Structure 1
Amino acid sequence: MSHRIIPADPFSVHIPEEEIADLKRRLQRTRFPNEPEGNEHWEYGTSLSYMERLVEYWRDDFDWPKIEEGLNRFPQYRATLTDDEGEDHTIHFIYERGTGDNTVPLILTHGWPSTFREFLDVVDPLAHPEKYGREGPAFDVIVPSLIGYGFSSLPRKPIGPAAIADLWHRLMTEVLGYDKYAAQAGDWGSFVTSRLALQHSDSLLGIHLTMLPLRPSLKHESQKPVSEEEGHWIADMQKWWRREEGYRSIQSTKPMALAFGLVDSPAGLAGWLADKYYRLGDTDKSDTMEGMIARFPFDHILTQFSIYWFTGTINSANTLYKAGPAEGSALLKPGERVTVPTAYSEYPIDVLPDTPRSWAERGYNIVRWRVMDRGGHFAAMEEPELFADDVRDAFAEMGLGQEKTGK
């Protein structure tokens, strides 16, 4: 099917050879830190032995031109939109039209420390299910890079999820011409998607989340008292954050203090980000080296890191942690709730407690609830077949794809 003309510029990823060579030179000069005893299971952070293997592969075996071919296998565009404060933002996105006449527009939004590459392996199965022996619905798949991430533009000042949601809505309606659409996301993308459902509910057909970020006003009369299960969950979450929130504390307060090291050293960048993949991915923790590599092959994880490196966007990505709380985008107003039909899938992450459904229903119109048996925080990259089937089934249960969506 030919693409109709859209008000956006065609785009393809291309990194000049001199920038690739510069990365290799920097990796060659990597100075590794000492490692305390007892870090076999990453108790102090990223494993030295893992980083030595990762840096060696990045330097000697990682084939960026081949990676570029994979990134460019779907049509990409960049469109510029102006926000409410008058700042222009250039949004990079994949746009793959689905099979048939009854396709469902679906915008997939990544989080941190991720890029649009997280969804690359599910674009084709979602757009063309018949190629994979699946029934519909088929989707028109849109995968944007968050503002300040990858090949989208750097904002002059940090921009939060609520403001990004308004830009996403304009991308879907003004640039791509859809009256109604569906959305899926995890991590920071789930903040953006939740705000889409709050701010543009008339246009949302349904949403699918792998994280539930909105927090209700528990003191409001509309809220029931916290149940025993919810109380235990809140306590467990607080305990988890006390142990794991070091990165968030830095990025939400003084991200510039960290930025000079991450933007100047590829090994420093990889060391900072790899720790999150280990902790939040569904890796085999009994064999930390091989478990990490099996779940996140070097080519996959280094594509993510390389996109941050070549675009110089790690600091603008990190500052989302400062912009989000400043915007208050996770807090529901008293009596406020997402009314858009919401499907939630909880992927096993062994360091996070399972969310009680009763808590989710305080803030969302939950119409489908699934607990997955494998996969982690980066579900679309970790388990693409499972993820694509789950997303397709969720929206099919909502009745999407049965009628043609207006454009």
Structure 2
Amino acid sequence: MTHRIIPADPFTIQVSDGEIADLKERLARTRWPFEQDGNENWDYGTNLSYMERLVSYWRDDFDWRKQEAWLNSFKHYRATITDDDDTDHEIHFVYERGSGPSPIPLIMTHGWPSSFREFLDVVNRLAHPEKYGADGPSFDVIVPSLIGYGFSSKPRKPLGPGAIADLWHKLMTDVLGYDTYAAEAGDWGSFVTSRLALQHADAVRAIHLTMLPLRPYVKDKPVTKEEAGWIKEMQAWWRQEEGYRTIQSTKPMALAFGLHDSPAGLAGWLADKYYRLGDTKKHHPFEGMEERFPMDTILTQFSIYWFTGTINSANTLYKSGPAEGTASLKQGERITVPTAYSEYPIDTLPLTPVSWAERGYNIQRFKEMPRGGHFAAMEEPELFADDVRDAFRELLG
């Protein structure tokens, strides 16, 4: 382990009483939209009856101070890291050292519409498995907020996953002093982690992903019949679900005024993705949603976006990511770092063919999970933590 070069300062989440009062006042003034018949299953987007319940709870029953105290029960830090363009970024991260003599350094990266909170239910399970009746390995767990999300800084010049990956490498090496480390992620975090493995293969020992984002180069090897069928099914899925992505990847600023100014608007926009991508029962307008994502859990996520004012800087990753051009592997490029992939049954895409996964990644472990969705660490923390632990035990020996 090398010496520290960049200091990290302890950080405490502190939302003012005035900000909490302002949120409640805005919620009390919510103007409800007209909802046509036929939206019981959210076919037109977020269901009105669910939103009425959510906003009422957020206004009258949600205790931010209680959630804030729970968030602060973890060890938070912020570090200023300079990118290759000589721009400084404040990176917020949770850091829990693992039990035992040789825990594995593990950086875990969230996506959209999530925050660092997504992984908090598994931090101690991974850092201290013995407390949960599980065998090792244990991990030094590092959970950063993506740039532009939560308590990290908002970039004046939007960054893509490749640039963020370089910052993550500096966080792990220059701030925390690790020579080598492992990484885990889903959604946008899987883009960052894949680029981390590609750009810093000498330092990244292994990765675990719940999404395989980098598109392989296929011109020199035509797709198989199975792969072609999967691509067709995937494209059909996206035609039904890509509205949010289309807006955020083209005109995020046009959307920002409504979401930044209205907490109900913010919640309505984000809730739809939790309903669609989470392992939620779809039999009722709100019962399945509330069972999978209890009010306190989902509103902590939404409140982090609200109090930090980061919805637009978070959404803009959908524009800056493609603009960076790092989502496609070039001819001859492949992730050589040992990779474990776990696919949860309710996620953004149909089941990925193993052959497709192996085109772009050094797949050493491919597992289809029995339950859970896009927010797996939050939805199924015990299942998720056991899988991550088992995966790195196999990959690293």
Q: Report the TM-score when normalising by structure 1.
A: 0.95
In structure 1, the partner of 2:278 is 281
**Pick aligned residue for 2:341 from 334, 341, 344:** 344
**Pick aligned residue for 1:225 from 222, 225, 250:** 222
Secondary structure in structure 1 of the residue aligned to 2:396: coil
Cα distance change of structure 1 residues 11 and 350 upon mapping to structure 2, 3 Å threshold: closer
Alignment of 1:17-32 (within 5 A): 17-32=17-32
- Mapped to 2, the partners of 1:154 and 1:386 lie a distance apart of 33
In structure 2, the partner of 1:113 is 113
In structure 2, the partner of 1:327 is 324
- Mapped to 1, the partners of 2:308 and 2:376 lie a distance apart of 24
Alignment of 1:173-252 (within 5 A): 173-219=173-219, 221=220, 224-252=221-249
- Mapped to 1, the partners of 2:66 and 2:138 lie a distance apart of 28
Aligned length: 394
- Give the deviation of 1:86 after TM superposition: 1.5
- Mapped to 2, the partners of 1:130 and 1:346 lie a distance apart of 26
In structure 1, the partner of 2:360 is 363
Secondary structure in structure 1 of the residue aligned to 2:134: coil
1:260 aligned onto 2:257: yes
Cα RMSD for the two superposed structures: 1.1
- Mapped to 1, the partners of 2:89 and 2:284 lie a distance apart of 43
CA contact (8 A) 2:208 2:340 kept: yes
In structure 1, the partner of 2:90 is 90
In structure 2, the partner of 1:404 is none
- 2:52 alignment partner AA: E
- Mapped to 1, the partners of 2:296 and 2:252 lie a distance apart of 28
- Give the deviation of 1:351 after TM superposition: 6.3
What 5-or-longer segments of structure 2 have no aligned partner? none
Cα distance change of structure 1 residues 124 and 350 upon mapping to structure 2, 3 Å threshold: closer
In structure 2, the partner of 1:300 is 297
- Mapped to 2, the partners of 1:351 and 1:137 lie a distance apart of 30
Cα distance change of structure 1 residues 156 and 6 upon mapping to structure 2, 3 Å threshold: closer
CA contact (8 A) 2:5 2:174 kept: no
- Mapped to 2, the partners of 1:373 and 1:332 lie a distance apart of 30
- Give the deviation of 1:399 after TM superposition: 2.6
- Mapped to 2, the partners of 1:280 and 1:17 lie a distance apart of 33
1:44 aligned onto 2:53: no
- 1:216 alignment partner AA: P
Secondary structure in structure 2 of the residue aligned to 1:201: coil
Task: Please identify, of 168-177 and 65-74, the stretch whose mean Cα deviation from structure 2 is larger.
Answer: 65-74
CA contact (8 A) 2:40 2:284 kept: no
Secondary structure in structure 2 of the residue aligned to 1:392: helix
- Mapped to 1, the partners of 2:79 and 2:264 lie a distance apart of 32
- Mapped to 2, the partners of 1:174 and 1:84 lie a distance apart of 14
CA contact (8 A) 2:49 2:285 kept: no
Deviation readout 1:323-351 (Å, 9 max, x if unpaired): 11001111101110000000000001176
> Runs of 4 or more off by more than 4 Å in structure 1?
none
Q: Matched residues, percent identical?
A: 76
Secondary structure in structure 2 of the residue aligned to 1:169: helix
In structure 1, the partner of 2:269 is 272
- 2:174 alignment partner AA: E
In structure 1, the partner of 2:378 is 381
In structure 1, the partner of 2:163 is 163
- Mapped to 1, the partners of 2:285 and 2:344 lie a distance apart of 20
- Give the deviation of 1:5 after TM superposition: 11
Q: Report the TM-score when normalising by structure 2.
A: 0.98
- Mapped to 1, the partners of 2:147 and 2:5 lie a distance apart of 24
What 5-or-longer segments of structure 1 have no aligned partner? 401-407
